[in-house]
Amino acid sequence: AKDYELRQYETAKWVSTVIRGESQKEAMRQGFWKLFHYIQGKNEREMKIDMTVPVTCLVKSGCTDFKISFFVPFEHQDSPPQPTDSNVFVEERKAAAIFVRSFGGFASPEKYAEEAEVLARTLRNRGQPFHEDFFYTAGYDSPFKLFNRHNEVWYFKK
């Protein structure tokens, strides 16, 4: 559709951390640094791993826990090094069909929520069943990239 895509994602491993009881912005900051330390070698093999995109954040309705995740690079999908920080874990996300809305600019938690609401409204209007109780934010750019930024919100298809 012109205002969203339906993508099929294969099963894949992500390295994640859950930040509890903080604002989404603060959770993203704390979570990013925990995961960044993991890819910089804070793992059982003391292995540096390339930074990947997107950086995702799971947002659940009425919940102040945020799960921040980095995609594990393809060359490490079979056996990612285990984190040495007990608050960081490797998870396997099952294959899924995901509705995606893309937008530019610097994305704030408010902007992500606004875009998620637009996508949810569009999907409801088109009779597309989706899991409404959570969505993911997906950021693709370094904070130092000023132009042509790419952000997304994701709802999982039912």
pLDDT band at 1 (very low <50, low <70, confident <90, very high): confident
Is the per-residue pLDDT at 143 higher than 90?
no
Model confidence at 97: pLDDT above 90: yes
Specify the length of the chain in residues: 158
Rounded Cα–Cα distance for residues 113 and 119 (Å): 10
Q: What is the mean pLDDT of residues 79-105?
A: 98
At a CB cut-off of 8 Å and minimum separation 6, what does 151 contact? 102, 103, 104, 105, 107, 111, 112, 115, 137, 138, 139, 140, 141
CATH code for residues 5-156: 3.20.80.10
Cite the DSSP H helix spans in the chain: 24-39, 109-125
Domain boundaries, the chain: 5-156
